[in-house]
A and B are shown apart, each in its own frame.
Chain A
Amino acid sequence: MKIAIASGKGGTGKTTLSTNLSAFLAEQGKVVLTDLDVEEPNSGLFVNGTLQHAEDKFKMIPEWEQEKCTLCGICQEVCNYHAVIKMADQIMIFPELCHSCYACSELCPEEALPMIPQKMGELKQFNVNNLFFVESRLKIGEEQAVPLIKQTLQYVDAQFPKEIIKIYDSPPGTSCPVIEATKDADFVILITEPTPFGLHDLSLAVETMRELKKSFGVVINRYGIGNDDVLAYCEKEKVPVLAKIPNDRKIAELYSRGELIYRKVPEVKQQLDHIWKYIETTAGGRQ
């Protein structure tokens, strides 16, 4: 069972929901929480686990072997990302632009551009009781999040059996990183807040999920602030509202200290229970 937690707008509570739902479900069985917001991973701040494993993650980039190169220029011609440039007397590689498509390397008639690994980030796995936590963080200056998200998903799939509940804290937005993070999920929870920004970005996220043909539902965070337009939108679009987390300064304070909320605010625990019951009945739950 794979549940992705996403939102169009940042700061609506993805990490809060991911960490609280994971810890809540881990009270009854094994859960893997994965932070796929590799640009700004935050879930780890709320999970105080023991480090079990750490590894560097690499992307493959071409490396120029001068002695083999005839400067024919095919590499530059085939690179759609302008990551390989032929100069008068050398080939220049721009790793941050490279998408690791291998075209330059494999189409080089002289085999002068072998692919070599370059570090793009780090993956770590932590554990506390029934909760396993995996996070990857992108190296600063590295521009592409997607390859690291992909490798993190592969790691989780290889390490943990299918039947374990897997929760994914996704990156914000509607572009390539969030598509990568949600495309394998069995269910997507979109979290939003009842404000004009929340509504606007929710409608983009809903469009994205429809495009991906995902089953999804909405959680409204900071319920009580703003207005009722998000509720009206969900009703009109027939999008299920799974839970409403109240707007409460105490919750914001607990969050600011890196504390889990459901343990201190019973209403939040109740809402988590609603969410899980919904997913269990509609999407199969624990298999």
Chain B
Amino acid sequence: MKEIVVISGKGGTGKTSLTASFAWLGGENVVVADCDVDAADMHLLLQPDFKHSEDFYSGEVAQIHQEECIQCGKCADVCRFDAIPVVDGKYVIDEISCEGCGYCPRVCPTDAITMEDQLSGKCFISTIKTGATMVHARLGIGSENSGKLVAKVKTEAKDVAEKTEKDYVIVDGSPGVGCPVVSSLSGAHFVVLVTEPSVSGLHDLKRVYQLVKKFGIPAGCIINKSDLNPEMSAQIESFLADEDIVLINSLPYDETFTKAMTQGQTIVEFDEGPLKEKISESWEVIKKAV
């Protein structure tokens, strides 16, 4: 079983549309994992049935039991997150600021503070329209620990792939370079970088590739909307050559991405033209590279 992670650094490059297309092309031989848990969109193209769902608890949040509180303020003194303001003369927890470190209950002289498990999202195991399994999640609003939810989605997806003897786990990764994307990358066999020829696209590609390099994972790149700025595309290509990153394919600026999305379809289902061919070619290149 090989794990392929698709990331982009920058948002809006077509990452999810391409990942869903690969999922479609992989048919029943793949397990799909949507690790962009902050803004999970792949379900809009693959129509999972949300069959199994599981609450996901991660981290804790402090709770002050007012009847025990003697207003000494020691909790607020030790809190480094300004999460214990005084409201109407009472110390209260600001749940959005609380990072669940558990320091305040340890200094409370009357044991008025307890730490409660925090429900931070839901994890789903579904069957999608190709018959394959998809693991996906929804993070609670403003929740922390999306990195842990990403890890959970990946572990579940790998479990299913091993049990059902599938060859590939295809992961739609998170944006940025922080904890969710670190979680998305860990254990991957191959990384597909989706970029676009813009100053931001190249900037973000370089940063996220520094992270990929730290993990030592082999990588390939798809330049989407490549004709939007041919000069910038050439710059990206020379960066790829310098770094020994496989150029998987260059795709044209094409509103088919949006049209297919509006129909709730992957591009390879919707399109019958050269774009479909190019994406199919890309999937073959990726499979060979893994």
- Which residue numbers of A lie inside 8 Å of B, CB to CB? 8-12, 15, 37, 39-40, 42, 45-46, 78, 80-81, 99-103, 106-107, 138, 140-145, 171-177, 179, 183, 195-197, 200-201, 204, 207-208, 211-212, 225-227, 249, 252-253, 255-258
Quick one: closest B residue to A207, CB to CB? B141
A107 to chain B, nearest CB (A): 6
In-complex Cβ contact of B96 among A10, A212, A253 (8 A): A212
Within 8 A of A (CB), among B221-236: 225, 228-229, 232
Given contacts A141-B214, A256-B229, contact A42 B177 (CB under 8 A): no
Expressed in whole angstroms, the Cα–Cα distance for A20 and B278 within the complex equals 35
Top 8 A-B pairs, shortest CB-CB distance: A11-B12, A10-B11, A173-B38, A11-B11, A101-B101, A39-B176, A256-B198, A143-B179
Is the CB–CB distance between B204 and A80 below 8 Å?
A: no
Is the CB–CB distance between A177 and B178 below 8 Å?
A: yes
Is the CB–CB distance between B199 and A225 below 8 Å?
A: no
Q: Which residues of B contact A225 (CB under 8 A)?
A: 255, 258
Given contacts A40-B177, A143-B179, A195-B261, contact A174 B39 (CB under 8 A): yes
Quick one: closest B residue to A141, CB to CB? B214
Quick one: closest B residue to A177, CB to CB? B178
Is the CB–CB distance between B80 and A101 below 8 Å?
A: yes
Expressed in whole angstroms, the Cα–Cα distance for A280 and B229 within the complex equals 37
Expressed in whole angstroms, the Cα–Cα distance for A201 and B254 within the complex equals 22
Is the CB–CB distance between A9 and B11 below 8 Å?
A: yes
Given contacts A40-B176, A45-B203, A144-B179, contact A226 B11 (CB under 8 A): no
Is the CB–CB distance between A179 and B96 below 8 Å?
A: yes
Is the CB–CB distance between A140 and B203 below 8 Å?
A: no
Is the CB–CB distance between A103 and B142 below 8 Å?
A: no
Q: Which residues of B contact A11 (CB under 8 A)?
A: 10-13
Is the CB–CB distance between A15 and B99 below 8 Å?
A: no
B12 to chain A, nearest CB (A): 1
Given contacts A80-B60, A107-B106, contact A173 B141 (CB under 8 A): no
Quick one: closest B residue to A39, CB to CB? B176
The verdict on B3 contacting chain A, using a C-beta distance below 8 Å, is: no
Expressed in whole angstroms, the Cα–Cα distance for A185 and B208 within the complex equals 29
In-complex Cβ contact of B142 among A37, A78, A176 (8 A): A176
Expressed in whole angstroms, the Cα–Cα distance for A71 and B144 within the complex equals 31
Question: Secondary structure of the A side of the interface?
Answer: loop
Is the CB–CB distance between B229 and A140 below 8 Å?
A: no
The verdict on B146 contacting chain A, using a C-beta distance below 8 Å, is: yes
The verdict on B196 contacting chain A, using a C-beta distance below 8 Å, is: yes
Q: Which residues of A contact B176 (CB under 8 A)?
A: 37, 39-40, 145, 171-172
In-complex Cβ contact of B12 among A12, A177, A196, A227 (8 A): A12
Expressed in whole angstroms, the Cα–Cα distance for A10 and B13 within the complex equals 9
* Binary flags per residue of B119-155, CB closer than 8 Å to A gives 1, else 0: 0000000000000000000010111101100000000
Given contacts A81-B101, A174-B141, A211-B141, contact A42 B11 (CB under 8 A): no
Within 8 A of A (CB), among B171-189: 175-179, 182
Is the CB–CB distance between A143 and B12 below 8 Å?
A: no
The verdict on B102 contacting chain A, using a C-beta distance below 8 Å, is: yes
Is the CB–CB distance between B203 and A175 below 8 Å?
A: no
In-complex Cβ contact of A145 among B100, B178, B197 (8 A): B178
Quick one: closest B residue to A38, CB to CB? B178
Q: Which residues of A contact B207 (CB under 8 A)?
A: 39-40, 140
Expressed in whole angstroms, the Cα–Cα distance for A258 and B258 within the complex equals 24
Is the CB–CB distance between B96 and A183 below 8 Å?
A: yes
The verdict on B53 contacting chain A, using a C-beta distance below 8 Å, is: no
A137 to chain B, nearest CB (A): 8
Additional pairs, 19, CB under 8 Å, beyond known A8-B38, A144-B179, A211-B141: A9-B12, A9-B39, A40-B9, A40-B204, A42-B203, A80-B115, A102-B80, A103-B102, A107-B103, A107-B106, A140-B207, A141-B214, A173-B146, A196-B44, A197-B16, A201-B41, A227-B262, A249-B228, A249-B253
Q: Which residues of A contact B238 (CB under 8 A)?
A: none
Is the CB–CB distance between A174 and B142 below 8 Å?
A: yes
Q: Which residues of A contact B211 (CB under 8 A)?
A: 140-141
Within 8 A of A (CB), among B1-32: 8-13, 16
Within 8 A of A (CB), among B60-104: 60, 78, 80-81, 96, 99-103
In-complex Cβ contact of B39 among A8, A78, A143 (8 A): A8
The verdict on B218 contacting chain A, using a C-beta distance below 8 Å, is: no
